[in-house]
Structure 1
Amino acid sequence: MAEQMSTPRIVAAYLDNFVGRTVTIVGKVTQLRGDQATIDADGVVTILLNRDSHLVNGNAAQVIGKVNPDLSIKALSTRDVGPGVDMVLCSAVAELTHRHKEIFVSEN
């Protein structure tokens, strides 16, 4: 059986705890510049986009990617989830996953 990869949900404040690991982050796209995007996920996060990324400025985006030493995220997968996302709820879910790590985060 294949081992399941853990991609913990984070906000910007947790980036430095996950350098070199794959994470899931949801934020509002605030800027698009070529192969980079900036999102607001309770703080500014730079996303290094791949060719399959099709994000819209002002919409929320879910990014699964690897945290780089400079605290940017190299996107493995991106999804535009539209303008109607409750960002307060997204942040609360990320916070709960860290408060209850035994349920949500596996140490790979």
Structure 2
Amino acid sequence: DIGVSAHRYHNRLDIFTQSLENGAAQQGIEVSLLNEKGQTLTQATSDAQGHVQLENDKNAALLLARKDGQTTLLDLKLPALDLAEFNIAGAPGYSKQF
């Protein structure tokens, strides 16, 4: 029941954990970055908003999120989700609307 979204920036990762069941932020999730050998590079615990901020490590291959016997894995070597195929444009806007 641990949903994870990771936002990669130049020098950090912002990670948000939430319940897959109800979407609520998950506090107390242990989040770790692992290298390709499974060695822990860094770890932190999510706050009341489900947020964790970790230093971006170029050797990080996997994000591991755990709590109470539940585990979620996120492969950091895969490309980010391409939103180009999703219709996210919404209604057309006009300059007078703004």
TM-score clears 0.5: no
Higher relative contact order (CA 8 A, sep 6+): 1
Greater fraction strand? 2
Greater fraction helix? 1
Question: Based on CA coordinates, which of the two structures has the bigger radius of gyration?
Answer: 2
